[in-house]
Structure 1
């Protein structure tokens, strides 16, 4: 089943195998690439707000624990946000939570968080691959390894065509607890 794509990937535990092709699989066409990032993060960091930027970036991952009920989520953390791979079955819930986080960032940090998504089917049409592997670091913890040009391509679309790819909803809602979020 496509929803279980990430958790059923053949995992590896030896770091020196991270470039071994046999562990990588193409992301299914019914998944999404979700990008969250703080607009103006370079300026905010220059103004001494590194911890605020980093906290909100990490919160974009921590907020999804409520949906996944685990922290075994395929993502790449970028400091001022994250790229997250999401199955279709979870996309509506992910959008709701991340829009609440975006509103939280605006109200509590006076920062704008961009939240955008691109369907993997569109990434595939552009012939930009996304391949994923799962590196196990502990019995219940794994790290997603993502390769191919598709992630960068999707980020470029979200930043370059926000009217098409960014999700906008000004409705309010209370952001749930951010389990495990720590920024030191």
Structure 2
């Protein structure tokens, strides 16, 4: 028998039965702007006429997995990810780094809006098999979210909800 076990006592039976509580876990639906508010809205970009060698250095130095590709006015024209570079390395071994970003980048870029629900963004990223999504607000690039950002935010929410439930249970 565990040492923490204590047999029921007479006064235990005299206490009223358990009380039911209605637990309401927030009906809040997190959105992209919450991630940007916590991680920042800085976006790292490169121009299409720069080389993959320059892009690789930027990715390494900033410790990121993708760069937005923007034109002279800051408009989004593509995205360059580590996967794009690896594919090009396989196609042109030894000749990849001097190539231009514009020749390798993904031009069909999925974007989201700051008010978009995180669950929607996560589904789009999972279904599209990509890990980085630029955030656009009125045709202006305002941030970048990663699948890791979305998952981390959701895990933090779940931990908070679990703590809240535990506090309700233990009083």
Global fold match (TM > 0.5): no
TM-score, with structure 2 as normaliser: 0.25
Higher relative contact order (CA 8 A, sep 6+): 1
Q: Which is greater in Rg?
A: 2
